[in-house]
A and B are shown apart, each in its own frame.
Chain A
Amino acid sequence: MKLTVWTYEGPPHVGAMRVATGMTGLHYVLHAPQGDTYADLLFTMIERRDHRPPVTYTTFQARDLGSDTAGLFKDACQDAVDRFQPEAIIVGASCTAELIQDDPGGLAETMGLDIPVIALELPSYQRKENFGADEAFYQIVKSLAKPMERTQRISCNILGPTALGFRHRDDIQEITNLLYELGVEVNVTAPMTATPADIAKMGQAHFNVLLYPETGESAARYCEKTFYQPYTKVVPIGTGATHDFIAEIRELTGLTATLDTDRLRQTWWSRSVDSTYLTGKRVFIFGDGTHVKAAARIARDEMGFEVAGIGCYNREMARDVRAVAREYGLTALITDDYLEVERAIEDIQPEMILGTQMERHIGKRLGIPCAVISAPVHVQDFPARYSPQMGFEGANVIFDTWIHPLVMGLEEHLLHMFRDDFEFHDAAGPSHHGGHAPKPSGGASGGSIEEKAKPEVGTDVMVWLADAEKELKKIPFFVRGKARRNTETFAADKGLTEITLDTLYEAKAHYAR
């Protein structure tokens, strides 16, 4: 038993729903009790979909348990096929139905339906949403895709995008255009946008572009083995990764078409002097493995940040993220417990968080700005405008998104210079954020000086003397946490138990960069 308040991932059948909802012509018959239909609203509300997810729930109740839940499943299955006339169905159980062991796959098999029936076994008490999506897509491909002659022109499939994915809608458009410019046609994009008939012709492609390893890797591996289609290993998030991705495509295809990179503004925006203030900002990165790996590279190499902490919530990616962390001289935090993430952030005191909606809330609590880089998604992550993360436009979008929460360059200086202006003070937060700025003067904030700076027993009898404490309060909130931490570390290293004004400035000089 694991005590959980908020979760990064839903149960595996929700992953399968993301696959089914992304596709058309496919229906999911889910053996599930009343209430599991809540998952529909993820799609209709968060993603603002204008259709119900193609899911039929058997809706069994307590009184059915003693009698014929299997019959209920068969009826629901037949009704769904008659009403929605799908090209194929996937069948499976949610967590409760898994316990009553009706075997939806076996039951549907006996019904003599004249469409393909794909059975899903998703262990609800062991695995989670991403696994469910990956496994569902793999089973669909395995059952529907057949070996076929390659297309005449060089083509690929795009694998991994699903409903409710973080910017998948725009990423596939961006990458489809990029591939087109390189001379590669997209044969099938799946699961999102594909029909079962499209899946059947996946074997026509020369290779596969795996955009989201979390949800498409098993299918990519299967196609590699079965159809001898190699798949791309670089995920084109960020300028550097996009160039590497292009190189990988050229390597795979032998195509040499040149590419117009005029649209790529991020590189100049990063180099322009206005961005100097970004240099060395300490960031904490957390999310799904793929986005975290990409964000680390962008943060260090394309924004000039210092990566101060890194981790992911999906254990499937632990090995990769640990390797990246080592490269950055860090230890990766692999956990799906947001309280643990919160503790890590409090401890590291980054100047910015690149995280999920969960970290955004943590940042709000601690007064640390946060940009969202990864699922789990929120209605905000489905903007009306075109807003990819991948390719060159994705690099532009990421630049804008990441600097938006920060106090901008000149404003930062002014806050340093005139700390006591009654309107233009650090407690007012970044001026372009209106009422949404963090309120560092209250409770838990970037400062949190009120509690923490007091002579307290918790921090190894380290005492802040009054003048040092007063000076610390003058430091703007977005660097105050760091200043406090640096000073305390410095004092501890020197074996000091009292922090004076001098200690503060000694530490400042020590950590100057």
Chain B
Amino acid sequence: MTHHNAPPPTLGCRSAPVLKERGQREVFCGLTGIIWLHRKIQDAFFLVVGSRTCAHLLQSAAGVMIFAEPRFGTAILEESDLAGLNDAHAELDRTVEQLLARRPDIRQLFLVGSCPSEVIKLDLNRAAERLTVQYAPKVRVLEYSGSGIETTFTQGEDACLAAMVPVLPQTDARELLVVGALPDVVEDQMLGLLADLGIGPVRVLPARNIDDEMGVGDNTVFALTQPFLGDTHAALVRRGASHIAAPFPFGDEGTTAWLAAIAAEFGVSDEVFQRVTEAPRRRARQAIAQAAAPLNGKSVFFFPDSQLEIPLARFLTRECGMTALEVGSPYIHDSLHGPDLDLLPAGPQISEGQDVDLQLDRCRDARPDLTVCGLGLANPLEAEGLSTKWAIELVFTPVHFYEQAGDLASLFARPVRRKDILGVAAE
């Protein structure tokens, strides 16, 4: 039996007018990505060069402290470091030496720029070059910015991956490179699907270890698993690689479209494609049908957070029966988000950027059944009677590909179900 998704809407959102706002943004900065990146890349250490605020953010954003000696830390700038930049470089060298002596297992060190390090123009690029020479070949030192003045939340991962692209070796091999940090279990499922389709070898960026790293070149084709990798996309294109544009692999439809785009690139037959995808598609549909029942006919409003908003709105509207009222994203890139916008039925206000008080006004007027927002807004909106889904959980939970499609639907369904349950109990 072959499943077909609903046909694309006659009018999608790709050409819809975008409300661009500029004001107070209730979002994390790019440093937050370190919380998952330091678990993903197992021989890397992330050293933020910043302030006490940066350290406090990292320990607060995670919500939990990972006391199994996390592979990240903050070199907190002090008054004396601000006085002279040469001294700051010397201090940084000293800190790195201390760190690498304590963690001999570290093979990659990321110096992560922050708002203060950028404002004082501490040249971490220079520092990374100097330290790479000093610690080669054992440790590679790279730098990127996770600062709030440059990056919003998931852009930190983008900046990190983009920083790795220039140092990847050159290759002429025709290889598929899949880009985006996924939970290991999801990554393994994806690799299994691609292997079953007969596509290989498949490389993954970021690799779990420096020794697993891949080459890149004119014959490399790459697919993104995360919709926030604009700079990495550009960096790979600069290395000659070509992008396979596709909707992002959320839900049955997104996963199928994503795999189909890759399958087409590698000349996989329809027959093989159907055979490989049929069973997981059936499971995904079944799981979504069960999990998404409470969402059917309900409305959803997205505050900008992770750039996952557009693909998720597509999933909720086309596979869970929801209506989107507003879909806010911190940034919208047509080359990345276009395929999802094509599928998202016209109707919702698409917004980019944020002026949080104005957006809260719109949200209160719209009275959505479900509001997807950051942790700073969730409880206040709940107290006003709106059901909310904290957006950060969507980044910290395995949600990609077929086997997680039901979990993804339940993440959204749980607050709605909960409200029903508690409503009954209260009467």
Contacts and interface: CB of A to CB of B under 8 A. Distances in A.
Interface of A: 1-7, 9-11, 13-14, 33-42, 44-45, 48-52, 56-62, 65, 76, 79, 83, 94-96, 99-100, 123-126, 128, 357-358, 361-362, 364-365
B27 interface: yes
Given A1-B95, A3-B95, A33-B147, A62 B118 contact: yes
B73 A99 contact: no
B31 A96 contact: no
B16 interface: no
Contact of B380 (A4, A52, A94): A52
A38 B59 contact: no
A7 B52 contact: yes
A51 B56 CA distance: 22
A95 B56 CA distance: 12
Contacts of B77: 1, 125
A125 B150 contact: no
Candidate in B76, B91, B148, B378 with the most chain A CB atoms within 10 angstroms: B148
Interface stretch (B253-261, B282-290, B369-377, B394-402): B369-377
A38 B357 contact: no
Interface stretch (B62-70, B166-174, B218-226): B62-70
Interface stretch (B18-26, B131-139, B334-342): B18-26
A79 B357 contact: yes
B82 A52 contact: no
A52 B148 contact: no
A136 to B, nearest CB: 16
Nearest to B390: A45
16 contacts: A1-B49, A3-B98, A4-B76, A5-B70, A6-B65, A10-B56, A11-B53, A14-B53, A33-B29, A37-B26, A38-B376, A41-B374, A45-B375, A45-B378, A83-B357, A96-B119
A41 B376 contact: yes
B379 A50 contact: yes
Contacts, number: 180
B245 interface: no
Nearest to B115: A96
A7 B51 contact: no
Contact of A5 (B32, B73, B92, B382): B73
- Which 8 A-B pairs have CB atoms at the shortest separation, nearest pair first? A35-B29, A35-B148, A40-B376, A50-B383, A96-B115, A41-B375, A95-B51, A1-B91
Given A33-B115, A95-B51, A42 B76 contact: no
Interface in B26-65: 26-32, 49, 51-53, 55-57, 59-61, 63, 65
Given A4-B74, A11-B56, A61-B150, A45 B81 contact: no
A71 to B, nearest CB: 13
B67 A37 contact: no
A37 B98 contact: no
Interface string B63-105: 1010100101111111101100000100110110011000000
Contacts of A3: 73-76, 95, 98-99
A349 B24 CA distance: 49
Nearest to A12: B52
Contact of B119 (A34, A100, A128): A100
B52 A57 contact: no
Given A1-B92, A96-B51, 18 more contacts: A2-B75, A2-B76, A4-B74, A7-B52, A7-B56, A7-B59, A11-B51, A35-B28, A35-B29, A35-B147, A35-B152, A38-B61, A39-B56, A41-B61, A50-B382, A51-B380, A62-B118, A365-B67
Contacts of A13: 53
A61 B60 contact: no
A7 B55 contact: yes
Contact of A51 (B26, B67, B383): B383
B148 A76 contact: no
Candidate in B32, B57, B98 with the most chain A CB atoms within 10 angstroms: B57
Contacts of B380: 44, 49-52
B60 A41 contact: yes
A79 B23 CA distance: 10
A100 B115 CA distance: 11
